[in-house]
C-alpha cells in the first residue's frame, strides 16, 4: 500500500465517531518521534493530538508524526499554536485529519475556526494538490474537509458556551480543565472557592450535552480535576476522550521502574 493510500483511505475521526456509539480514545503527543505516534496506534488508540501549542514541534516534524500514526491505523489532530489561516493551512498540508483550536472563548472565534478549515464559499482555506494532504497529486479526488475541534478552557468560554455550541461546523468541543482552573484563579478566586467554581463551570459545560449529539463532547477523564471512569463519561454524553500524553506515560513508567527496583 502506498503512503498516499493512507491519506485517502484511513477512516477519519469523523468516520469513527459516526460508526460507533463507543468512546473514541486518543492521547496527546508532545515529542517529535514518529515511533511514539505509531506505538499509540498499535496500542489501539483511535487518534493522537500533536500538541504544537506547548511544544516546539515543527510542521515538518508533525508530518512525520502523522505518517507514524497512520501506519498503525490512528489519525492525527494538531493543537495549533497560531490559529491564523496563514499558519493553519501549512499545518493542514501535513495530512492531519483536523485541527484542535485552543482557547476559543466566543462564538465569533468558533466561527473563525470553522472558516479557517473550510473552502470558499463556506470559508477562507486555500487548496493545493502538491501536498501530502492531497496525496501529491495522486491520493485524493477531492479536498479533505478537516475535522474542526475547539477547546473550552477559560471562564469566559464557559460564560459563552450556549452560543459556542450552536456554531455550525464545530464538530467537537474539548474541555480543558487545567487552563480553566488557571482562568478561575486569574479572576480572583482563592482557596476552596477555586475548586467549587471549577466544578460548577465543568457542570455547566457538560449540561449542554443532555440530549445533544452534535458537536461531540471530548474530555481528558483521567485529569486530576475530573477522574471520571468510563461510565461517568458515557452518562455525561462524552464521545471522545484523551488518556494522558506520551511524556506522562514515559515519566510515570520511568519513576515506577526505579521505585519498584
Question: Residue 88 maps to which CATH number?
Answer: 3.20.20.60
* DSSP string for residues in 8-38: HHSPPHHHHHHH-SSPEEEEEE-S--HHHHH
User: pLDDT tens digits for 48-67?
Assistant: 999 999 999 999 999 999 99
What's residue 261's pLDDT?
Answer: 94
What's residue 138's pLDDT?
Answer: 78
What's residue 189's pLDDT?
Answer: 87
- The mean pLDDT value for 4-15 works out to 73
What's residue 140's pLDDT?
Answer: 62
Total domain count for the chain? 1
Q: Whole-angstrom Cα distance, residue 24 to residue 239? A: 6
- The mean pLDDT value for 219-227 works out to 94
Three-state secondary-structure class, residue 57: coil
- Residue 16, pLDDT > 90, answer yes
Confidence of residue 141 (pLDDT cuts 50, 70, 90): low
- The mean pLDDT value for 113-118 works out to 97
What's residue 6's pLDDT?
Answer: 45
- Taking each helix axis as running N to C, give the angle between helix 34-42 and helix 59-71, from 0 to 180 degrees, rounded to the nearest 10: 30
Confidence of residue 5 (pLDDT cuts 50, 70, 90): very low
Residue 153 cell numbers, joined: 478552557
User: pLDDT tens digits for 154-213?
Assistant: 999 999 999 999 999 999 999 999 999 999 999 888 888 999 999 999 999 999 999 898
- The mean pLDDT value for 96-116 works out to 98
- Residue 256, pLDDT > 90, answer yes
Residue 47, beta-bridge partner list = 26, 75
What's residue 8's pLDDT?
Answer: 54
Higher pLDDT, 143 or 250: 250
- Residue 4, pLDDT > 60, answer no
pLDDT over 70 percentage in the chain: 95
What's residue 139's pLDDT?
Answer: 65
* DSSP string for residues in 70-138: HHTT-EEEEE-S--SHHHHHHHHTTT-SEEEE----SHHHHHHHHHHHS-TTT------TTSGGGTTTT
Q: Domain range holding 112?
A: 3-260
What's residue 229's pLDDT?
Answer: 97
Confidence of residue 3 (pLDDT cuts 50, 70, 90): very low
What's residue 211's pLDDT?
Answer: 87
- The mean pLDDT value for 40-47 works out to 98
What's residue 7's pLDDT?
Answer: 52
Amino acid at each position: 500500500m502506498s503512503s498516499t493510500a493512507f491519506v485517502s483511505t484511513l477512516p477519519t475521526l469523523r468516520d469513527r465517531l459516526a460508526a460507533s456509539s463507543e468512546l473514541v480514545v486518543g492521547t496527546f503527543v508532545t515529542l517529535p518521534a514518529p515511533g511514539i505516534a505509531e506505538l499509540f496506534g498499535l496500542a489501539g488508540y483511535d487518534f493522537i493530538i500533536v500538541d504544537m501549542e506547548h511544544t516546539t514541534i515543527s510542521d515538518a516534524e508533525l508530518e512525520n508524526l502523522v505518517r507514524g500514526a497512520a501506519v498503525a491505523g490512528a489519525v492525527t489532530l494538531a493543537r495549533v499554536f497560531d490559529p491564523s489561516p496563514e499558519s493553519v493551512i501549512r499545518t493542514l498540508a501535513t495530512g492531519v485529519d483536523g485541527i484542535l483550536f485552543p482557547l476559543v472563548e466566543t462564538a465569533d472565534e468558533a466561527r473563525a475556526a470553522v472558516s479557517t478549515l473550510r473552502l470558499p464559499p463556506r470559508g477562507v482555506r486555500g487548496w493545493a494538490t502538491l501536498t501530502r494532504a492531497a496525496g501529491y497529486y495522486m491520493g485524493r479526488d477531492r479536498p479533505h474537509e478537516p475535522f474542526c475541534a475547539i477547546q473550552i478552557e477559560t471562564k469566559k468560554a464557559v460564560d459563552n458556551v450556549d452560543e459556542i455550541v450552536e456554531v455550525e461546523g464545530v464538530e467537537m468541543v474539548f474541555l480543558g480543565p487545567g487552563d480553566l482552573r488557571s482562568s478561575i484563579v486569574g479572576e480572583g478566586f482563592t482557596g476552596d472557592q477555586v475548586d467549587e467554581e471549577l466544578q460548577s463551570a465543568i457542570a455547566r459545560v457538560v449540561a449542554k450535552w443532555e440530549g445533544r449529539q452534535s458537536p461531540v463532547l471530548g474530555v481528558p477523564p483521567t485529569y486530576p480535576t475530573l477522574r471520571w471512569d468510563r461510565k461517568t463519561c458515557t452518562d455525561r454524553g462524552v464521545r471522545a476522550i484523551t488518556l494522558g500524553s506520551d511524556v506522562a506515560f514515559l515519566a510515570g513508567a520511568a519513576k515506577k521502574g526505579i521505585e519498584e527496583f
